[in-house]
Amino acid sequence: MTTAIITPALVDLSLEADSRQVATRRLAQLLASQGRVTDLDGFLADVSARERQMPTGIEGGIGIPHARSAFVAEPTLAFARSKAGVDYGAADGPAHLIFLIAAPEGGGAQHMTILAALARRLVHASFREALATAPDAQAVVDIVTKEVLGS
């Protein structure tokens, strides 16, 4: 059985974090609480190593920290909304919509497929607006499932 890549338990609509490290840790804790990540610090080290290669902030107020890691049990997407914004290194300023993509070490193709599909949708203001105004976690899951995963 395949588990949903994103569930309401993996969504935080009121993230409070003053740095990308804190924001990423909060999202990773959601993954760990759902059994998607087996070693929180090990996974965060992998995300941090990826972040050092190149910042994961993209234009439009988006952060997409991501990593392939031996500590990921299954491909997973977590989402947070931050009113204050978190600096993920984008030229146009802080991220208000943050996605954490976690993929198992051997699952490279799936990780890239999710990342590419997400990036394609995020260029559309309507998609960003829908996420920014989603009334609850289930609405976010429904939007992402339909728009990114095509199901």
Expressed in percent and rounded to 5, the helix, strand and coil fractions of the chain are 45, 20, 35
**110 Cβ contact partners less than 8 Å away, ≥ 6 residues apart:** 75, 103
pTM assigned to the model: 0.92
For 11-22, give the DSSP string: EETT---SSHHH
CATH code for the part of the protein at 10-147: 3.40.930.10
Q: On the CB side of 143, how many CA atoms lie within 13 Å of its CA?
A: 21
Question: What pLDDT is stored for residue 1 in this prediction?
Answer: 37
Q: Which residues are catalytic?
A: 66
pLDDT reading at 2 higher than 60: no
Give the Cα-Cα-Cα angle 13, 142, 120 (nearest 5 degrees): 90
CA neighbor of 8 nearest in space, from 132, 141, 101: 141
pLDDT in tens, 65-117: 998 899 999 889 999 999 999 999 999 999 999 999 998 887 667 767 877 88
Mean pLDDT of the chain: 91
Mean pLDDT calculated for residue range 137-141: 97
**Bigger pLDDT: 113 vs 49:** 49
Give the HSE-up count for residue 100: Cα atoms under 13 Å, Cβ half-sphere. 31
